[in-house]
């Protein structure tokens, strides 16, 4: 399991919703891309770049959660 897959909980989709799978897959891929870039450049001492990469990852994770919630939200009765 990659870091991005772990962050978005790629394997948790009890309803097997294809849209949930797609959102989590795309978010995990983007998180992995940013994480890999950050890890390969972390020895350069650019703490601001590391901080921004971390914030970007947190934001992507949050956006994926909100998108999954939107897709799976039942109408109010």
- Cα-to-chain-centroid distance, residue 45: 25
Q: What is the pLDDT of residues 3-48, one digit of tens each?
A: 999 999 999 999 999 999 999 999 999 999 999 999 888 766 788 9
pLDDT band for 64, please (50, 70, 90 cuts).
very high
Question: And the tokens for 2?
Answer: 């990659």
Which pLDDT does position 9 carry in this prediction? 97
Alpha-carbon span 55 to 63, nearest angstrom: 12
What domain range includes position 60?
Answer: 3-10+18-72
Instruction: Quote the DSSP letter at residue 77.
Output: -
Whether residue 55 is contained in a domain is answered as: yes
Question: And the tokens for 8?
Answer: 């978005």
Which pLDDT does position 43 carry in this prediction? 66
Whether residue 77 is contained in a domain is answered as: no
Look at the pTM and tell me if it is higher than 0.85: yes
By the 8 A CB rule, do 9 and 27 touch? Answer: no
Which pLDDT does position 61 carry in this prediction? 98
Domain count, the chain: 1
Q: What is the mean pLDDT of residues 45-56?
A: 91
């Amino acid at each position: 399991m990659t870091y991005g897959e772990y962050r978005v909980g790629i394997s948790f989709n009890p309803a097997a919703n294809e849209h949930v799978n797609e959102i989590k897959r795309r978010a995990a891929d983007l998180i992995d891309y940013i994480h890999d870039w950050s890890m390969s450049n972390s020895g350069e001492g650019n703490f601001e770049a590391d901080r921004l990469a971390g914030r970007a990852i947190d934001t992507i994770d949050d956006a994926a959660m909100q998108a999954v919630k939107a897709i799976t939200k039942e109408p109010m009765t």
